[in-house]
Amino acid sequence: MRSTILLLAAALALPVLSKEIRWTSSKPATELEYQLIDLGVQDDFEAEITIDAPGRTAGIFFRAHENKDFETGPDGDSPGVEGIYGYSVLLLPDNSVEFTKSNGAKKIRNGVLNSSDRATTLRISAIGETLRVTRGAATVGTGGDWFLSGSLYFVALPGEADAPPATVTIKEFKDLPRAENWQPLFNGENFDGWRQWGSEEWAIEDGMIIGRSGPKKSEGYLATDRTWKDFRVRGTFKMLGEGNFGLFYHSTITLRENDGYPMISGVQGEVEPGYPSSTGWLYESYKRGWLIEPPKDTLAAYVLKPTDWNTIEIESKGNVVTTWVNGVRALRFDDPEPQLFEGSFALQLHAGGVDGIAWKDLYVVEE
């Protein structure tokens, strides 16, 4: 009941814009300009915006991530804004509206909306993986799982030297709860529904799960009693220092007979504090190891905040597994020879001693 009340309270607290937010470019029209919109990190939302930008391209990015460390490489393509990645809705000089997505490796045009009206009003809907942009009676849409969450930015691209300032206005904005039927895995009060394995230390502090090394500095797990086959799971974590951690799925744990060491059979969603990071990539314990060797040249490797709160999300449907880190898709893996099909979720403290990790907001959707 308490979890239900907390979820309801969170839904009621979601912000609705009380007044419009207007941004007008101030730099010369030949220069790129963008501004973070102070609405926090967004998952699902609905918005109405207007764009007025004669002689140049202007609009907004949503579910966007700003990162100057990530280099796109020779085939990378960001839609006009170096270091900003996400979905963009831009009014072009020819009066068309372009809806695109860019993750640094690819830029894909989702659709174009045309009109003779230069001052443009648009409605944007981002609900789960369904994204739509509407202009008058016309709508373009796409399935959008490259980015599940992110920030909003105003943007004006370089244009004609004598172009007047671009103006972008958010007329309406409604933050929405995640569309799926998420159920809490952790009640914030006790470890009901969970079991501890190994000699590492697990505690509840301020409604969060805290894992730390015990005296043996060995392997430790906190695993759910229940098992899942197809699912979508997510959690928010903060690493308290060095170490190696993980969110396992399809896992089974047994104790080694001679010393009680916990042996896990499962697939690990990696969690580690490196930068660029392997967080979000998949490792199968005691079987195939890395299902895909973690690359360091993807945007997902650069979105981890090693000393702050982060999110990891994993979806398993049949043979296909998809992961996201801070709302950015890390991988989609179609497993040709899956080894494991059902098991528990397990939080990991890797052997050798770790500084610790905090977990909160653990939720699951059964597919």
Query: Is there a contact between 313 and 321 (Cβ–Cβ < 8 Å)?
Result: no
Quick one: pLDDT at residue 15? Answer: 56
**Tokens representing residue 325 in the block:** 């880190």
Same fold, 14-176 and 183-366: yes
CATH topology of domain 183-366: Jelly Rolls (2.60.120)
Strands 262-271 and 282-284: antiparallel
> Which of 163, 154, 157, 101 lies closest to 129, judged by CA?
101
Quick one: pLDDT at residue 24? Answer: 97
Q: Say yes or no: domain 14-176 is CATH 2.60.120.560.
A: yes
Q: How many residues does the chain have?
A: 367
Block residue for tokens 């505690």: 203
Contacts of 293 (CB under 8 A, 6+ apart): none
pLDDT in tens, the chain (367 residues): 333 333 333 333 455 666 899 999 999 999 999 999 999 999 999 999 999 999 999 999 999 999 888 876 444 555 456 789 999 999 999 999 999 998 877 778 888 888 766 558 999 999 999 999 999 888 999 888 999 999 999 999 999 999 999 999 999 999 999 878 999 999 999 999 999 999 899 999 999 999 998 877 778 999 999 999 999 999 999 999 888 899 999 999 999 998 888 999 999 999 999 999 999 999 999 999 999 999 888 999 999 999 999 999 999 999 999 999 999 999 999 999 999 999 999 999 987 667 899 999 999 999 8
**Tokens representing residue 313 in the block:** 């999300």
Query: Is there a contact between 151 and 330 (Cβ–Cβ < 8 Å)?
Result: no
Cα 18 to chain centroid distance, Å, stands at: 27
Contacts of 297 (CB under 8 A, 6+ apart): 71, 73
Q: What are the structural domain ranges in the chain?
A: 14-176, 183-366
> Which of 69, 182, 82 lies closest to 61, judged by CA?
82
